[in-house]
Structure 1
């Protein structure tokens, strides 16, 4: 996965959104409908290519998770890009299914990598605790929690989770992957319609991290656990069977942040380094 396109190719950035309910996640899977699969098929069709050009994405969302501000890149042959760049956006709109849209297509600056250049990802998780349930028009994007939620208690419990930590207690482990992350923001707000939104921002997320954090904090909000419990779970660094991974449909990738163009290369190098906590061993 290079930080530069190969000679004769142009790295192209795509900004996109999708409704995740009918997708088996972002990543291509055999005989399953995925966002990456739909986009790569559409690109191949509208550029009349015999080859499939593979996309690299900022955040690989799970099945059922939505995205409003997803970012990906693809390396296209210079001649193909020159021929199609002015018409590519409109042609993709005509070819893609209605649950995925590309909003911007542009040549990326030198050193850009959709995944490794990112300095943060911001997610929102939406939930309601109305005794009558969820507004039918929002049901595909909002979780119903059938206990009253104390937003102040959830905000208080969130404070212990901020900063750089080993989030092993809130992640599904993957062989060879670190679970050290820097959680930059985690807050809850109830709007006038009663929808409670958790805003979660970090430099990166490990598998199931956001949905596990939300699950733990909902237990605080409904009074089943004290406010110091999520922090104690974090400190233990092991999965706690009491931490519930909430359903995916309430989660949306809202935005991905990147540094100034001149800092892209340095960010790529930093992001590729496997992290350890201060005082931890090398392995």
Structure 2
């Protein structure tokens, strides 16, 4: 039986619920985003951040604020999401993980809680984020056990065409045509990987990596490239959209459920502060969304 915290701390208590020293902790987590209105808290809506914050606050008997690497949209999943929070420095991290496993719903799991340097910032210290988009092209659609994370797309996908079109998007560009613009937010991003493969099960998988993503960027890229793969658009069409300075209405946004955040990369500990400062200079509130 796991130990339980007292229901009410005495007035002179110096336990984690009261005046204790805080330290920074990294949380590695995953979730099935199907039944969530995205990561970010929204009044009256079930969100990943809301569910996780409530559970952490209950476990630690104190308010907890989370900062996340990538604020995924409604319906988007994660297996490699990273967040940070300032928690009691003496927190038993293994115990916290076990308690969260009992409190959280089965569609959110925290795999590890690890103390990190104070300079660690899940959002601004990140070097790059990696996403995966799954597309089932079979006539019968996605297999039942993968239907929640795989788009059913009963059309042929020409991998040579989509990879050629993807190559024209690599590098640092203004991706305004592929982003839902937010006031004051830059749409310049450095796209480092955009490649398509077909697995043994016939599912087409797009691997997408960048320093950060603006709102709906990954799903817009996938939507545009699926049109290329289906033969409805020319190979050079997606790259040509980079000349636009506004959202392209002719770009379809691929459904959210095919997208998963798979990993976030960070520099060594002694480079965290510098990386965060550089990112803050060029990023504004929506950095990291997909």
TM-score by length of 1: 0.91
Map 1:139-154 to 2 at 5 A.
139-154=147-162
Paired residues, number: 264
2:181/2:247 contact within 8 Å kept: no
2:53 alignment partner in structure 1 = 40
Q: 109-118 vs 245-254, which deviates more?
A: 109-118
1:279 alignment partner in structure 2 = none
2:279 aligned with 1:274, yes or no? no
2:201 alignment partner in structure 1 = 193
2:70 alignment partner in structure 1 = 59
SS in 2 for 1:231: helix
1:120/1:204 contact within 8 Å kept: yes
Which of the numbers 221, 233, 238 marks the counterpart of 1:225?
233
Map 1:163-202 to 2 at 5 A.
163-202=171-210
1:17 alignment partner in structure 2 = 30
Map 1:84-163 to 2 at 5 A.
84-163=92-171
Aligned partners of 1:83, 1:200: CA distance in 2, in Å? 36
Q: Deviations over 1:62-91 (max 9, x none)?
A: 00000000000001233xxx1543411111
Which of the numbers 202, 212, 215 marks the counterpart of 2:220?
212
2:254 alignment partner in structure 1 = 246
Q: CA deviation at 1:236?
A: 2.2
Q: 134-143 vs 16-25, which deviates more?
A: 134-143
Aligned partners of 1:136, 1:186: CA distance in 2, in Å? 27
2:40/2:71 contact within 8 Å kept: yes
2:10 alignment partner in structure 1 = none
149 and 95 in structure 1: CA distance in 2 versus 1, 3 angstrom threshold = same
Aligned partners of 1:169, 1:145: CA distance in 2, in Å? 23
Aligned partners of 1:224, 1:101: CA distance in 2, in Å? 40
Which of the numbers 257, 265, 271 marks the counterpart of 2:273?
265
2:38/2:75 contact within 8 Å kept: yes
SS in 2 for 1:32: coil
2:17 alignment partner in structure 1 = none
TM-score by length of 2: 0.89
2:94/2:113 contact within 8 Å kept: no
1:74 alignment partner in structure 2 = 85
SS in 1 for 2:168: helix
Q: Deviations over 1:30-75 (max 9, x none)?
A: 111111111111111122x1x3211000000000000000000001
Q: CA deviation at 1:268?
A: 0.5
SS in 2 for 1:183: strand
